[in-house]
Each structure stands twice: as structure tokens, then as C-alpha cells.
Chain A
């Protein structure tokens, strides 16, 4: 093998690793957010919202299954969706740190959901044009679901923001609390750059402007103030998480960890 060939092979391996990691990030964000929503079922503010939140959770778990299955194939070590979901520890999870934040009150859940919905809208829309046809197909399916999620969450954002003095205050507080996690949304690292260069994924900073426009429109309808720029950027997608993820995984992975290697 010539050095040029070796170089090309090395470069291809790196691209595959970056592609795998990128898909894992999308899948983990969907999984962790779906897991959080699952905690609501049976405890929502109205019976109708139990069903609504469960539907979001089902969509997100469904997206996670498709994405983690694909990531496992890209990785080439024979790991399936469940190996990836149940047998990795927190530093190996690549979700956005926002997704793992606790449910809090309904305002926190809605603001968290809405921020991720607006982010996923941009990402899935752009991914529909990916050179990676498998990823493009998953994104096209997920986009339809996300359009509904955004309808749901932006509707509730408006009801809470414009509702009573109490609900307005709770929504604004949730926004101030969670806004700092959005700095991670559009900050590219070497993985993002690599997959963008290969035509697999959009250029992240380019998504910030349309996202921002959507966010401002939704906030205006909800009579809420956009918080100041976050001072600290979490790096959930690089495996640097808040303290909450470990607890979430402890519950989620409990059976697989206690009884290793069994079928369920």
C-alpha cells in the first residue's frame, strides 16, 4: 500500500468514526429527552397532557432506536440499540446537556422541549439533504414528528407565557434557567466539521440564524424575554455532562446492569 493509499484509508476511517459519533449524538439526545418525558406519564397537569407527553416520548424513543441502530452498524463492533443505550456510562453518552435536565415543573419541561424542538427542526430539515441516504431518511421521518412537537411545545409556551402572572413568571424563570444550555447547540467541534466537509451534515453555525428567528417569533407570541447569552458552554455532545445524567442512566440501565447478558 502506497503512502497515499494509506493516507486515504486513514482518512476514511476517521470519517467513519466522526459519522458514527455524529449519529450517536443525535440518537442520545432523542433517547435522553424521551426518557425524561417518560417520567411524566401518569403525572401530567391534565389527562389529555399525559397522552400528549407520551406521544412525544414515543416519537423520541423511536428516533433513538433508528439512530442508535445505525450508529452501532457504523461502529462495526456488533453493538445494537440496546447495547448502546444500556451499557454505556455517562461520559460515553453524547447527548446535548439540555436534554438530561430534570423535568422540574411543567414550565421547565415545556421550555426544555421547545428549545430542543427548535434545534431539531433546523438539524433534521438540513439533514434531509445529507449525502448519507440512511441518515437523510431517518431525518425526514423525524422531521415530521418534530414539526408536531414544535406545534405542541410552542403552543404551550404561548399559553404559559401569556396565561396568568404565575405561569408567565414560571416560564420566564425556566427560560433563564435553561438558556445557558443552548450555547452548545451551534458550537461546532472537529466531529461536526468533519461530517459537514463530507456533505453528511449541515454547517452548524449556519443553522443559528434561522433557529434564532424561530425562537424570537415563538418568544414574542409568548410575551417572554430572550435571556442574555450564556456564559458557560456545556459539552454534552463530547461526553461532558451535568450531574443529572448519571442518575438518569442509573434508573434506565438498572436491569441490564443487574442481570448482564440476558434477553428481555
Chain B
């Protein structure tokens, strides 16, 4: 009989209005237990108002080896940032 509980990743919304953020992982036999464990392990000090859990095996991650191909091309698109544009000081509300 297998007694190993699968690994879940835990995401917590710390306050109303904020996004869920990854906080860590835990083991649980089922989804209900995963929520309870997440509550007991990661919100003992009022760290959360909402919890997501998902099986770690279901996460699809980008490959660090592809990091350059994925992320470097954004580097030279500096014109996407407001500081790229020089506006005289006397012009207001821009």
C-alpha cells in the first residue's frame, strides 16, 4: 500500500486586493487535506485570506536553458517605458 502523499504547491492571497503568491509546498493525500494543511502550515499568523493549492506535478515551467530566448528580446524595447521619452519640465500632467 502506498503511503506517500503527493506534493502540492501553495499560493496565498495575503490581503483582499492582492494577488495570490507562491509560498511553498506541502504533502497531502487529497485536495481538501491540502487546503487544511496549507491553512495550518502557512497561515498561522494571519498571512492569508484565500488559499490556492495545486499538485506540483501539474505545474509547467519554462526551461532556464531557454531563458535568453524567452526573456532577452524584451531588453532592448526600452521605448515601452515612460522614462524613454524626454518631455520639457514645464509641460504638466503627462
List residues of chain A with CB under 8 Å of any chain B CB: 46, 48, 51-52, 55, 151-152, 155, 159, 164
Contact = CB atoms under 8 A, between A and B. Distances in A.
A164 B28 CA distance: 17
Given A51-B41, A164-B1, A46 B36 contact: no
A164 B27 CA distance: 19
A151 B35 CA distance: 11
B1 A46 contact: no
17 contacts: A46-B27, A48-B26, A48-B41, A51-B37, A51-B40, A51-B41, A51-B44, A52-B36, A52-B37, A55-B40, A151-B36, A152-B36, A155-B32, A155-B33, A159-B29, A159-B30, A159-B33
A19 B86 CA distance: 76
B1 A48 contact: no
Interface string B19-48: 000000011111011001100110010000
A254 B16 CA distance: 46
A155 B29 CA distance: 11
Nearest to A166: B1
A66 to B, nearest CB: 19
A152 B39 CA distance: 11
Contact of B40 (A52, A155, A159): A52
Contact of A48 (B30, B40, B44): B40
Contacts of A159: 29-30, 33
**Most chain B CB atoms below 10 A, which of A51, A55, A151, A159:** A51
Nearest to A50: B40
A166 to B, nearest CB: 9
A52 B37 CA distance: 7
**Most chain B CB atoms below 10 A, which of A48, A55, A152, A159:** A48
Interface string B31-75: 011001100110010000000000000000000000000000000
Contacts of B41: 48, 51
Contacts of A155: 32-33, 36
B46 to A, nearest CB: 13
Nearest to A51: B40
Instruction: Identify the 10 closest CB pairs spanning chains A and B, nearest first.
Output: A48-B37, A51-B40, A52-B40, A55-B40, A51-B41, A155-B32, A48-B26, A152-B36, A52-B36, A48-B27
